Amino acid sequence: MKNFLRRLIPPDQWLKPVIVMLGVFCGLAAYAIYISRAPSYLSDNPETCINCHVMNPQFYDWAHSSHRNVASCNDCHVPHNNVFAKYLFKASDGLRHASIFTLRAEPQVIYIRDAGKKVVQGNCIRCHEKVVGTEFVFSVQPNFHNFLKERTCLDCHRETPHKRVNGLSSAPNALVKTKIGSRTERDEDEAEDKR
């Protein structure tokens, strides 16, 4: 073990440059974490979703839907089968989002990925289990054909809770919170009109 540690320590003439380079890399990593807002992805705050302006229309649609009172973004878009799966998914998805935002590579039109579709489908069933469960359905309609084996909930309920919004131009006047305090764009417009 001691021999291994000795090999990690650079020779004396390289010690200062190595320390400086490690400091630079650690500083850049800390700055990247800060600027990308990476820690915010560990929370359940729906405003995390608008770290990127591309998500404003989706946030706006959710904020004006019936789901806003009963489900936040993570209730639908993160697995809830156990705490490890939840935070592993959040970490991997959050790291991907943070990397995209940091590199300013976010697309103007976004679509949910296949892994996300599976999670959303599972959460639809988890929350609406009493309505889509076979016991309830067969008691109401005995000859019911269970389409959940062939289709997903989003096949019929595509506009719940996000309507058919895919890009910024589809909701240009969305009233969402900006990153400047808790004022909305409407508040700023009204303040300008009063001046």
**Distance separating alpha carbons of residues 41 and 88, to the nearest angstrom:** 11
**Distance separating alpha carbons of residues 75 and 70, to the nearest angstrom:** 9
Give the tokens for residue 159.
């506009």
**Residues 154, 121 contacting (CB under 8 angstroms):** yes
pLDDT of residue 30: 93
**Distance separating alpha carbons of residues 154 and 161, to the nearest angstrom:** 10
Residue 141 lies in a domain: yes
pLDDT of residue 66: 85
pLDDT of residue 182: 46
Residue 39 lies in a domain: yes
Amino acid identity, position 115? A
pLDDT of residue 169: 57
Taking 50 as the pLDDT cut, the residues of the chain under it are 172-173, 176, 179-186
Residue 26 lies in a domain: yes
**Residues 179, 56 contacting (CB under 8 angstroms):** no
For 162-180, what is each residue's pLDDT tens digit? 877 665 555 544 554 554 4
Residue 176 lies in a domain: no
Residue 146 lies in a domain: yes
What Cα–Cα distance (Å) separates residue 169 from each residue in 55, 77, 147, 174, 184? 12, 24, 34, 10, 19
pLDDT of residue 181: 45
**Distance separating alpha carbons of residues 1 and 32, to the nearest angstrom:** 34
Residue 132 lies in a domain: yes
Residue 20 belongs to domain spanning: 11-45+68-162
Best CA proximity match to 77, nearest among 130, 115, 128: 115
Residue 15 lies in a domain: yes
Total domains, the chain:
1
Whichever domain contains 92, its CATH number is: 1.10.3820
What Cα–Cα distance (Å) separates residue 100 from each residue in 21, 29, 70, 103, 178? 25, 15, 29, 5, 20
